[in-house]
A and B are shown apart, each in its own frame.
Chain A
Amino acid sequence: MVVKTIPEIPVKKGEPPYKLWMFEPGEKKEFPLVFNLRQLAEQRRPALIPGHRLCAGCAAPIVVKLASFAFRGPTVVVNATGCLEVSTTIYPYTSWAVPWIHNAFENAAATGSGIEAAIKALKKTGRLKYEHVDVVVFAGDGGTYDIGIQALSGMAERGHDVLYILYDNEAYMNTGIQRSGGTPKFAWTTTSPVGSVLPGKGEHKKPIADIMVAHRIPYVATATPAHWMDLIKKVRKGIEVNGPAFIHALSSCNRGWRHEEGISIEILRRAVDTCYFPLWEWTPETGYLLTDRSLVIARNPSLKQPIDKFLEVQGRFRHLLRPENKELLKQLQDYVDAVWEDLLKRASNAPR
């Protein structure tokens, strides 16, 4: 048996083991983007520090940590109610190294709008001590697709300079795996159970990123923590644009998706390989552009995997792999193909 030892954390006397991000007033510092793993480990600290209570195998903290490697400098984080919020800030502790606020479930975008407006007003009257303070929202699929879409749409329409990052684990995982507008068709959840009559959820996932594209905001992208460089680049672009930006990051949940803890990143890789979750970005100037692995698949379609590869490692889709459900599996494959084909037609960098 391999004995795993916990690495010792170098603690200087009188210093807390994990330091918060502190920007002294007037400090001008813009973090460069770092992609060399060694440099990243040595030079950068994530905004989410160890000690949080998210499940082993959860991809949400990976999304947050990667995203925070792209923060430029002084940043305020807004969090909608959800796993990420309740597990990182159990009073009297907090895992956030940056100023952080949680207001309620449905209003993360509105809260972000208010903060951005305050920053503008303070800047106008010479009371802001920094050149810029970025506002980044993290919200789950329930707080974005369903209850939060009104506030999100309002924020986009009003043009607030806020980056909204959706970490999409495809159901209400915090309350116990109930279906949301982000749950894919035929997935098992506690409110779309697989019964003798119904084969899981009856409806397809809402195309939330396309809805945000329809708002014609300066930047929209999809990402996964499995394609980490792609994610970091996109987050930096989202922060740098002047106006609202939206990033849809797929985030696996071992409790809700019913998979082993160790394969969270592998599943997300398969989501892209099967074209279930294509990686792209959109700006009003360029239109849709495929990125990373999805661009590779577009150029070499033989790399595209069948949807089974994504489903077979997850308990929530187990019923689809039974022989009597072959027809359902085909339906899902057809849907994924149709969405992918549609994207290929729209993406300007896809081969014709």
Chain B
Amino acid sequence: MSRLQLIPKYPREKQVMMNLNGDEAIAYAAKQSYVDVVAAYPITPQTIIVEKYSEFVANGEVHTEFVPVESEHSAMSACVGAAAAGARAFTATSSQGLALMVEILYIASGLRLPIVLAVVNRALSAPINIHNDHSDAYLMRDSGWIMLFAENVQEAYDTTIQAFKIAEHPEVQLPASVHIDGFFLSHTLENIYTLPDEAVYEFLGGPRKIPKVRVDYFDEEVDYVLNPARPLSFGSLALYDYYFEMKIPQLIAINKALDVIKQVNEEWYELTGRRYGNGLVDPYMVEDADIVLVAMGSGAGTIRSVVKKYRERGLKIGLLRVRSYRPFPHSDIRNLLRNTKLVAVMDRAIGPGQYGALYLDIASTLYHERSKPILVDYVYGLGGRDLSPDMVSAMINQLVKDLERGYIPEEERLRFLGVRG
């Protein structure tokens, strides 16, 4: 590389190594992020985040008001109230809790409140299951939230801090969720590098900054907050004459987040020496690959190790990990998959009556390409079923045959990995 190796502001020796699981890492990141209000309810496998944060409060390590609400619905409602009153608000949930929250997720994004939510992904009932898949994440897909998926505990820590910066960016002002896979990350201990408190404080620019808005009644721009000095009405009724126009700025803001996520990823790199692809997608040996696997979350780690082995044997194969699920980085993915011959999308949830949700996104990205790769959807790991290296190998062997054949028949375009019978 012609560019000089960047020396981060906080090289590894200035960072603190801690042995944390995913939940603890997120709680610790929130603690360092100068959060004013945490309103949360326990649900497996997220509970440790709430427990850990309660400890910080009990020991007086934070100034945060901890609101132990009576449901996830109230957790998000209290976060909306807190954020509207000018606080930096944080909460966490899983599965059924997220399902209960969904009504207010739409309100949080509609009111443009930069709340950060940690989602410890877990399967939805029925049958009731406490283990990981992405069905809860797909449920909140269209709620207007920025959705970032972490691959490991280090990334969970990094992404939580980044999420505050992305959400509170003046041109974004949208809520953001950080997704980690239940148990695979939430309960797995990992040695991670953490920044000193003051570095995080500086990175986020101190406490939350309130954006300004222009309102007819006032001559000057006013703070977008419940402010007795310049009162505003939040959450008014807008019917067919205004609703549509109010939704468009929300769309512009989430698309703007594409640039902001990249930018924050670079800033984090300069600070810590760590970055995840360009922030939106994290490709691994994709440039010259004939076959590319597309995945999100912790499964990417397993897939990467298998891909590496096949590369050593000479197969042109790569992995594209989607980090920003919403906003979806269409152009980055299109550029990366332009010369690929076969793309296998790996969905950790089913969409009954349809392909998996990630498959649909990738398909819509590739549709406008002149030469389209062969596209297939693999559904895997439902309800916490492990994704073993052998399963990935079997899948790759199958894909090699498909590539030789040159097509995949329609009835085979939705395949299941690791299901019995």
Q: How far is the CA of A17 from the CA of B340 in the complex (A)?
A: 66
Query: Does B232 touch A at the CB level, under 8 Å?
Result: yes
With A113-B67, A121-B36, A122-B36: A91-B77 Cβ-Cβ less than 8 Å = no
CB neighbours of B73 from chain A (8 A): 106-107, 110, 151
Q: How far is the CA of A154 from the CA of B83 in the complex (A)?
A: 20
Q: How far is the CA of A327 from the CA of B36 in the complex (A)?
A: 59
With A76-B226, A130-B228: A102-B234 Cβ-Cβ less than 8 Å = yes
- Which B330-345 residues have a C-beta within 8 angstroms of A? none
Q: How far is the CA of A129 from the CA of B210 in the complex (A)?
A: 14
Query: Does B230 touch A at the CB level, under 8 Å?
Result: yes
CB neighbours of B63 from chain A (8 A): 121, 124-125
CB neighbours of B207 from chain A (8 A): 125, 127
- For residue A203, give the distance in angstroms from its CB to the closest CB of chain B: 25
Query: Does B59 touch A at the CB level, under 8 Å?
Result: no
Q: How far is the CA of A190 from the CA of B74 in the complex (A)?
A: 30
- Which A120-157 residues have a C-beta within 8 angstroms of B? 120-122, 124-125, 127, 129-130, 133, 150-151, 153-154, 157
A76 B85 Cβ-Cβ under 8 A: yes
Stretch in B5-13, B116-124, B236-244 with 4+ CB within 8 Å of A: B236-244
CB neighbours of B39 from chain A (8 A): 113-114, 117
Q: How far is the CA of A91 from the CA of B77 in the complex (A)?
A: 22
- Which of A85, A89, A103, A150: most chain B CB closer than 10 A? A103
Partner of B80 from A74, A109, A111 at Cβ < 8 Å: A111
- Which B46-69 residues have a C-beta within 8 angstroms of A? 63-65, 67-69
Stretch in A21-29, A194-202, A305-313 with 4+ CB within 8 Å of B: A21-29
CB neighbours of B82 from chain A (8 A): 114-115, 117-118, 121
With A91-B242, A110-B77: A118-B228 Cβ-Cβ less than 8 Å = no
- For residue A39, give the distance in angstroms from its CB to the closest CB of chain B: 23
- For residue B336, give the distance in angstroms from its CB to the closest CB of chain A: 40
With A103-B107, A115-B82, A117-B39: A75-B228 Cβ-Cβ less than 8 Å = yes
- For residue A89, give the distance in angstroms from its CB to the closest CB of chain B: 4
With A90-B236, A150-B70: A118-B229 Cβ-Cβ less than 8 Å = no
A121 B228 Cβ-Cβ under 8 A: no
A110 B69 Cβ-Cβ under 8 A: yes
A154 B229 Cβ-Cβ under 8 A: no
Stretch in A56-64, A93-101, A178-186, A282-290 with 4+ CB within 8 Å of B: A93-101
Query: Does B297 touch A at the CB level, under 8 Å?
Result: no
- Which of B65, B69, B239: most chain A CB closer than 10 A? B65
CB neighbours of B234 from chain A (8 A): 99-102
B86 A118 Cβ-Cβ under 8 A: yes
Q: How far is the CA of A113 from the CA of B104 in the complex (A)?
A: 15
CB neighbours of B64 from chain A (8 A): 121
| Per-position binary interface string of chain A over residues 52-74, scored 1 when its CB falls under 8 Å from any chain B CB and 0 otherwise | 00000000000000000000011
Query: Does B20 touch A at the CB level, under 8 Å?
Result: no
Query: Does B79 touch A at the CB level, under 8 Å?
Result: yes
CB neighbours of B87 from chain A (8 A): 117-118, 121-122
- For residue A68, give the distance in angstroms from its CB to the closest CB of chain B: 12
A110 B78 Cβ-Cβ under 8 A: yes
Q: How far is the CA of A139 from the CA of B99 in the complex (A)?
A: 25
- For residue A250, give the distance in angstroms from its CB to the closest CB of chain B: 25
CB neighbours of B71 from chain A (8 A): 150-151, 154
A104 B103 Cβ-Cβ under 8 A: yes
With A121-B63, A133-B228, A151-B70: A104-B107 Cβ-Cβ less than 8 Å = yes
Q: How far is the CA of A74 from the CA of B229 in the complex (A)?
A: 8
Q: How far is the CA of A118 from the CA of B85 in the complex (A)?
A: 6
Residue of B nearest to A129 (CB): B229
Q: Majority SS of interface residues in chain A?
A: mixed
Query: Does B233 touch A at the CB level, under 8 Å?
Result: yes
Query: Does B170 touch A at the CB level, under 8 Å?
Result: no
- For residue A81, give the distance in angstroms from its CB to the closest CB of chain B: 9
Query: Does A20 touch B at the CB level, under 8 Å?
Result: yes
| Per-position binary interface string of chain B over residues 73-100, scored 1 when its CB falls under 8 Å from any chain A CB and 0 otherwise | 1110111111111110100000000000
Query: Does A320 touch B at the CB level, under 8 Å?
Result: no
A114 B231 Cβ-Cβ under 8 A: no
- For residue A132, give the distance in angstroms from its CB to the closest CB of chain B: 10
| Per-position binary interface string of chain B over residues 278-290, scored 1 when its CB falls under 8 Å from any chain A CB and 0 otherwise | 0000000000000
CB neighbours of B79 from chain A (8 A): 114
CB neighbours of B81 from chain A (8 A): 78, 101, 103, 110-115, 117-118
Query: Does B37 touch A at the CB level, under 8 Å?
Result: yes
Q: How far is the CA of A125 from the CA of B35 in the complex (A)?
A: 11
Residue of B nearest to A25 (CB): B229
With A76-B85, A101-B226, A102-B234: A111-B67 Cβ-Cβ less than 8 Å = no
Query: Does B227 touch A at the CB level, under 8 Å?
Result: yes
CB neighbours of B70 from chain A (8 A): 150-151, 153-154, 157
Query: Does A16 touch B at the CB level, under 8 Å?
Result: yes
Q: How far is the CA of A89 from the CA of B239 in the complex (A)?
A: 11
B229 A22 Cβ-Cβ under 8 A: yes
Query: Does B202 touch A at the CB level, under 8 Å?
Result: no
- For residue A15, give the distance in angstroms from its CB to the closest CB of chain B: 11
Query: Does A86 touch B at the CB level, under 8 Å?
Result: yes
Residue of B nearest to A89 (CB): B236
Q: How far is the CA of A154 from the CA of B71 in the complex (A)?
A: 9
CB neighbours of B352 from chain A (8 A): none
Query: Does A158 touch B at the CB level, under 8 Å?
Result: yes
- For residue B224, give the distance in angstroms from its CB to the closest CB of chain A: 11
Sample of 17 more A-B contacts, CB < 8 Å, known A90-B237, A103-B81, A119-B85: A20-B231, A76-B85, A99-B226, A101-B235, A102-B235, A104-B103, A114-B78, A114-B85, A117-B81, A117-B82, A118-B86, A121-B64, A125-B63, A127-B86, A151-B74, A158-B67, A158-B69
Please name 29 pairs of A and B residues whose Cβ atoms are closer than 8 Å in the assembled complex, sorted by A.
A16-B217, A22-B228, A23-B229, A24-B229, A76-B228, A86-B237, A89-B235, A89-B237, A91-B236, A91-B246, A96-B233, A99-B232, A99-B234, A100-B233, A101-B235, A102-B233, A107-B77, A110-B77, A110-B81, A118-B65, A119-B85, A121-B63, A121-B82, A122-B36, A122-B86, A125-B207, A133-B228, A150-B70, A150-B74
